[in-house]
Structure 1
Amino acid sequence: MELTTNVGSFDRILRIVIGAALIILTLTGTIGIWGWIGVILLGTAFLRFCPLYRIIGVNTCKNS
């Protein structure tokens, strides 16, 4: 499977901010284990590829 970029700039920034916030909240004990979903958000932001977007046919990247 080819990792075609499908996460745009605004989407990427949002994923980084929300992902980091979830991880911090989990590490401080504010929220439970579900906060580790932030790792997935950070991963998809840095790869600029979201497998779920590919499945449902979404592309927020202007260049693709």
Structure 2
Amino acid sequence: MKRNIGNLDSGLRIIVGVALIALVIMNVIGWWGWIGVVPLITGVFRFCPAYRLLGISSCQRKTLDKPSH
């Protein structure tokens, strides 16, 4: 499983997932808020199956820059 979620994307997913789950537990929103488990898990493991299917990656690209002399 190659990572395809970058740092910012991962952090946002974790925040949104935890927030949705907390709102369900506090009885602010309905049962549908448990969908927050999906972004939480994908954020923690830094892998999104949908990104893979679509060929998307939010990870930084590593470039091989030659040092300038």
Do these two structures clear the TM 0.5 threshold for a shared fold by scoring above it?
A: yes
**Aligned-residue identity in percent:** 47
Kindly state the Cα deviation for residue 53 of structure 1 after the two structures are TM-superposed: 0.6
Secondary structure at 1:7 match in 2: coil
- Superposed CA offset, 1:8-35 (max 9, x none): 0000010011000000001111111111
Structure 1 or 2: more helix by fraction: 1
RMSD: 1.2
Give the alignment's TM-score, normalised by structure 1.
0.89
Q: How does 1:1-64 map to 2 (within 5 A)?
A: 3-63=1-61
**Structure 2, unpaired ranges of 5+:** 63-69
**Structure 1, unpaired ranges of 5+:** none
Give the alignment's TM-score, normalised by structure 2.
0.83
Structure exhibiting the larger radius of gyration computed from Cα positions: 2
- Aligned residue-pair number: 62
Kindly state the Cα deviation for residue 40 of structure 1 after the two structures are TM-superposed: 1.0
Stretches of 4+ moved more than 2 A in 1?
none
Measure, in 1, the Cα distance between the counterparts of 2:61 and 2:34. Answer: 30
